[in-house]
């Protein structure tokens, strides 16, 4: 079968399409014929640093149809449309635990189904499980025009947030998030970030901030929080380190919470999928929430898909198609 693989070179990793063995379905597993897969920023980081090791099949999210069912699996039928979260899924076939699968609603096309799993599972975990969102609280989402950002605004709205402040580098991009449920928008290019966020929240600040940036933005993010506010770090596109005012942290009784799939056990990751499906699939089926797709590329143009992602010009998710 064909797959996008990461090959090591002295200059870093190179993604290319290659022929790899098709997996045979094992007991307790499901084999999925993949139609499309989402592109994620972690691929750029891995590519930059990959200078040694075997070829690795790319991908962590997908949509397609059930192709085969392993012994002992119940609840799925061949041909059923599914979307899911699983590694090595940017390939014509992927084998996964059945708990990693979600039934694709009839209302969702292939591109939008491929754009759902990773960002909505991550956003749900950050907002509901790690962030402990309470109904009526104010949520701040930075990098709001990204895949995680557009998902987080919608998850916050679906889970009962009051105010939702969308922050993006350009106010024009932040404005595009307003129809997704943002009550206020801030362009971080315009003025001091915390000043604008505090103005949008009546001077109170946010109860929960979903941070995809990190780096130099951390001090302003913490100053944007209300008393006993929580910051959940889901990404560090602005850098992995920053200065921290411990007096401010203590006086405001703030919490910084880190989340990632990289150190989760397979069981922990599956519980994240199940929690997302429980809370969000009804809203997805009804159209209350919908993944935002920026663009799609055929598998052979994976380099173009990554260039689009690296440009930071996208709005929502980039998808690779395998048909």
Question: To the nearest whole number, what is the mean pLDDT of the chain?
Answer: 95
User: What pLDDT, in 10s, does the model give residues 10-37?
Assistant: 888 999 999 999 999 999 999 999 999 9
Reported confidence tier of residue 189, pLDDT bands at 50, 70, 90 = low
Please check the confidence at residue 191 and state whether its pLDDT lies above 60.
no
Q: What are 44's strand-pairing partners?
A: none
Report the alpha-carbon distance of residue 233 to residue 221 in Å, rounded. 11
**What are 51-96's pLDDT values in tens digits?**
888 899 999 999 999 999 999 999 999 999 999 999 999 999 999 9
Task: Please state the pTM of the whole predicted model.
Answer: 0.95
If one looks up domain 119-258 in CATH, what number appears?
3.90.180.10
Q: Where are the domains of the chain?
A: 2-116+291-321, 119-258
The CATH number of the domain covering residues in 2-116+291-321: 3.90.180.10
Nearest partner of 219 among 235, 241, 203, judged by Cα: 241
Say if residues 7 and 56 touch (Cβ distance below 8 Å). Answer: no
Instruction: Write down the pLDDT at residue 174.
Output: 87
Q: How far apart are the first and last CA of the chain?
A: 12
Matching fold, domains 2-116+291-321 and 119-258: yes
Q: Per residue in 275-314, pLDDT tens?
A: 999 999 999 999 999 999 999 999 999 999 999 999 989 9
């Amino acid at each position: 079968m064909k797959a996008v693989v990461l090959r090591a070179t002295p200059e870093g990793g190179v993604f290319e399409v290659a022929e790899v063995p098709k997996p045979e379905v094992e007991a307790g597993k499901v084999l999925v014929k993949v139609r499309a897969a989402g592109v994620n920023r972690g691929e750029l980081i891995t590519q930059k640093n990959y200078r040694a090791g075997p070829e690795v099949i790319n991908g962590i999210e997908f949509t397609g149809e059930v192709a085969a069912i392993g012994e002992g699996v119940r609840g799925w039928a061949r041909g059923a449309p599914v979307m899911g979260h699983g590694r090595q899924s940017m390939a014509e076939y992927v084998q996964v635990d059945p708990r990693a699968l979600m039934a694709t609603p009839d209302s969702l096309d292939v591109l939008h189904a491929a754009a759902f799993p990773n960002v909505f599972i991550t956003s749900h975990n950050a907002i509901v499980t790690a962030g402990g969102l309470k109904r009526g609280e104010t949520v701040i989402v930075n990098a709001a025009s990204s895949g995680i950002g557009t998902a987080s605004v919608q998850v916050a709205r679906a889970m009962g947030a009051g105010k939702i402040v969308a922050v993006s580098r350009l106010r024009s991009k932040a404005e595009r998030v307003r129809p997704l449920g943002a009550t206020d928008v801030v362009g971080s290019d315009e003025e001091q970030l915390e000043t604008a966020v505090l103005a949008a929240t009546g001077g109170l600040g946010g109860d929960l901030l979903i941070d995809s940036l990190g780096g130099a933005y951390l001090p302003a993010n913490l100053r944007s929080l209300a008393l006993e506010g929580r910051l959940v770090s889901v990404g560090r596109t602005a850098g992995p380190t920053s200065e921290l005012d411990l007096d401010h942290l203590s006086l405001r009784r703030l919490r910084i919470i880190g989340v990632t799939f990289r150190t989760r056990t397979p069981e922990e990751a599956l519980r994240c999928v199940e929690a997302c499906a429980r809370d969000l699939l009804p809203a997805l089926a009804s159209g209350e929430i919908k993944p935002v797709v920026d663009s799609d590329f055929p598998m052979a143009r994976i380099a173009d898909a990554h260039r689009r992602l690296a440009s930071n010009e996208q709005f929502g998710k980039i998808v690779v198609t395998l048909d």
